[in-house]
Amino acid sequence: MKKTIALIAHDRKKDEMLKFVLENKELLSCHTLIATATTGKIIKEHAALEVTTYLSGPLGGDQQIGARIACHEVDAVFFLRDPLTAQPHEPDITALLRVCDVHNIPVATNVASAGLILRCLKGE
């Protein structure tokens, strides 16, 4: 069944996100993809997948995606955070992860978990 997956990556994780997307393009193309601005732009340009983009994370994109999660419009979140760099919008990042927990939405913060969730969604 077609699901909505949010793809978000911090700057130092964007290459890893693109690699993940390219390796899993066939599976991801079965779903509706949404993303923060820069992550989505890279995926559209380099993986040629259709992606609905929101604002960039630091400009409110995490909050926009969080709002969709709260409205039960997102089925999974793949959020490759940079664990080694402080982000100016840290409260938004925490809020996005929190809203996933509030609404019991699967969230992966590394590609190993994202791959597992993606394969599980295939069976649903």
Cα–Cα distances in Å, from 101 out to 23, 49, 76, 87? 28, 28, 11, 21
Does the footprint of ligand 13P cover residue 64 (CB under 6 A)? no
Distance CA 46, CA 68 (A): 26
Among residues 11, 15, 62, 82, the one annotated as catalytic is 62
Task: Kindly indicate which of the ranges 22-30, 33-41, 66-74, 99-107 contains the residues binding ligand 13P, using the contact rule CB under 6 A.
Answer: 33-41
Q: Is the dihedral of CA 107, 25, 52, 1 positive or negative?
A: negative
> Does the active-site annotation cover 62?
yes
CA 84 to the chain's CA centroid: 19
Cα–Cα distances in Å, from 92 out to 77, 99, 103? 15, 10, 16
Question: Cβ closer to ligand 13P: 29 or 94?
Answer: 94
Does the footprint of ligand 13P cover residue 60 (CB under 6 A)? no
Instruction: Choose which of 38, 47, 66, 76 interacts with ligand 13P (CB under 6 A).
Output: 38
Site for ligand 13P in 69-108 (CB under 6 A): 89, 93
Residues in the site for ligand 13P, rule: CB under 6 A? 8, 10, 36-39, 56-58, 61-62, 89, 93
